[in-house]
Structure 1
């Protein structure tokens, strides 16, 4: 599951004045940059949506923009929004120890005891990217789904025996392990399964009716409505990815339109469902990296400077699908890009990020242009 590292992000283009009718060429340019069997580029500007699609394969039976795409690490933003909502409700505290929400564990090492829910959300827990017993399947063999069948009990056992790489809160280190544990802790506290909890507290209030979490929910969709991922060659299909206990870290499926709806909820200045939690997840928490690779991290989003104010974004990938979602509050702009191929040459992150920065440099058209 990709985190959208800064190394993949191009330099921001120079701002250009808005020209009426100038949106379509930018979307077409982004679409042409992405090489995959199925590609969707979707933009929301002030609540007005424009979607283009294409790809190297024949058009599927279902319009590409209606397909459910595996979001990979973009799923983490949903889990952290759930955390923020539960914190607003007083069910958890951001600085609660993780262990306090996972009772029954054996004695933990000193640093493991000090991991908080905030540390998990911001990737500062000190936990490795994946548990030791998952490393071979999830990292060394990128087209082998080692996550399938990884149970919640196995996840908790891995936590009980882990030795963090560094003291919590001292360094940023991306961790699927940490977000999986965060989802497990929230589910345990609420006394319900994570997919059901996310649906009830986040997906339903935001009217994300085409977004689901977990393998069972995904399998309830018609097969033809789920995007089929592909290996790096762009031809070999890859089966649906069951993330099991790692669903909070990478097991959400969504359509491009629902992705825009999710971003639009973040762009509302006030009011609406989860308004407080949506603001909370956009508050900067830390800065990491140096020089061109220096960036700000909110509770869940990467934040980069842009014209008129920062852009916030996150990328994600399953074993055969890559997605990007970003938004620019100053111009009420959101960009979602999905592709059924995951490798560096597919250019999803580069194309999507460039489009987002380009639109951030263009003020919204006035009422006469709408």
Structure 2
């Protein structure tokens, strides 16, 4: 998942807050200029499998390739691991629960998880958790020790949901919630468990009911499917296959996997909220919730990083697992949605995020 491995241009960790269609076949998808740019991006990534896909005003263009021979199942039909690019999905679940009146976002996480705890035991709310302002570290303090035997294979799988909750209940934040931003897989994982406890519904079921179902994302899920359904990740060398990612107790922070076309559908709903079922929740996903840094340069919404362009803001999130990387973004000003996926673990001077970011910024 991101934070430990990927960086966005100009987004440092830990700063004091200044304030709180059926897809068209590739040959019919149009725009030759986009097609050429996407093909160049695929080549630049240099991964066993790479997919770059764009939707502009509903017209889709997709290019794929890679250093490995084409898989038996066409790359656009495979599901790819999103890692931390799962977080916009989780944010949309929370937004929809708030719009439905089931939650407010101001609930103390500790009382959601343990009804016997007094609300004053911890002031961390659900809103703090989704906005990375809860004062939590990127990972629990004992994460590396408990997962060391699986560090190179599937460390998150060794850290269960109950351990995530227990680590949160034992943690004492160094900073008052709401005063500092620090990217935290730990915090969003806790959010998933708190929301599930508050609604008495498993997080996977909430995801299916409030996002996957309404947006008709039939090729999106949280667990590996049968043979040939999921892309195979690779290590830093680009040759060694790695096991499918298991998020363990961090499902809300990094478990989603999806096909390129499902991801475009997800982003198109953000571009045209009035045409999608959870309209108000989707609209709320664009609203800035905090600004930080010099001149409030860095803007965050509930589920997205937001950066300025010459014509309007762009919204994006990237993610990584031990063998794959993902980038999702959209620009309302140009009606553009971008999906980038590859099956090579992040490495020093990796061009993947920079390539995808540049495509969206120029789009």
- TM-score, normalised with respect to structure 1: 0.87
Matched, 1:127 2:130: no
**Partner of residue 257 from structure 2, selected from 253, 258, 264:** 253
1:275-290 aligned at under 5 Å gives the runs 275-290=279-294
Superimposed CA distance per residue, residues 165-204 of structure 1 (whole angstroms, 9 cap, x where no aligned partner): 3110001101111101111111112212111121111101
| Change over 3 Å in CA distance of 1:139–1:182 after alignment to 2 | farther
Is contact 1:27–1:52 with CA below 8 Å preserved after alignment?
Answer: yes
Identify the match of residue 234 of structure 1 among 222, 235, 238: 238
Return the offset for 1:208: 0.6
Q: Is the 8 A contact 1:138 1:144 kept in 2?
A: no
In the other structure, the counterpart of 2:360 is: 356
The C-alpha deviation readout for 1:308-357, integer Å capped at 9, x for no partner, is: 21000000001110000000011110010000012244421111111111
Aligned position for 2:76 = 65
Distance 1:255 1:352 in 2: 17
Cα 1:295–1:142 shift into 2, 3 Å: farther
Task: Name 1:208's counterpart in structure 2.
Answer: 217
Quote the offset at 1:2 in angstroms.
1.2
Q: Report the Cα distance in structure 2 between the residues aligned to 1:140 and 1:328, rounded to whole angstroms.
A: 42
| Offset of residue 235 of structure 1 | 0.7
C-alpha distance in structure 2 between counterparts of 1:252 and 1:101, whole Å: 23
Q: In structure 2, the residue corresponding to 1:273 is in which secondary structure?
A: coil
Is the CA contact 1:309–1:328 (under 8 Å) kept in the aligned structure 2?
yes
Q: From 155, 161, 165, give the equivalent of 1:152.
A: 161
Aligned partner (choices 22, 26, 35) of residue 33 of structure 2: 22
Give the conservation status (yes or no) of the 8 Å contact 1:8–1:350: no
Q: Structure 2, unaligned stretches of length 5 or more?
A: 12-29
Aligned-pair CA distance for 1:205:
0.5
What SS class does the counterpart of residue 157 from structure 2 fall into? coil
* 1:288 to 1:340, Cα distance in 2 relative to 1, 3 A: same
SS state at 2:274 partner:
coil
Partner SS, residue 303 of structure 1: strand
Task: Write the distance in 2 (CA, Å) between the matches of 1:150 and 1:209.
Answer: 28
Q: 1: distance between equivalents of 2:182 and 2:150?
A: 21
Quote the RMSD (CA, aligned, Å).
Answer: 2.3
Q: Name the SS for the 2:35 alignment partner.
A: helix
Compute the displacement of 1:145 (Å).
2.3
Stretch moving more, 282-291 or 190-199? 282-291
CA distances 1:27-63 after superposition (whole Å, capped 9, x unpaired):
1121121111000000000001011000000000111
Report the Cα distance in structure 2 between the residues aligned to 1:326 and 1:257, rounded to whole angstroms: 14
Q: Secondary structure at the match of 2:96?
A: helix
1:35 aligned partner: 46
Q: How does 1:281-300 map to 2 (within 5 A)?
A: 281-290=285-294, 294-300=297-303
Provide the residue aligned with 1:5 in structure 2: 7
Residues 346 and 57 (structure 1 numbering): CA distance in 2 closer, same or farther, change over 3 Å? farther
Counterpart check, 1:95 vs 2:106: yes
Asked if the contact 1:147/1:246 (under 8 Å) is kept, the reply is: yes
2:147·2:158 contact (CA, 8 Å) conserved in 1? no
The residue correspondences of 1:310-325 to structure 2 (distance < 5 A) are 310-325=313-328
| Partners of 1:267 and 1:178 in 2: CA distance | 27
Give unmatched runs, 5+ long, in structure 1. Answer: 10-18, 360-370
Larger deviation: 265-274 or 315-324?
265-274
Residue aligned with 1:337, SS: strand
Cα distance change on mapping 1:128 and 1:140 into 2, 3 Å: farther
Using a 3 Å threshold, how does the CA distance of structure 1 residues 181 and 191 change in structure 2: closer, same or farther?
same
List per-residue Cα deviations over 1:98-131 (Å, max 9, x = no partner): 12311246579x6x61111111111000011111
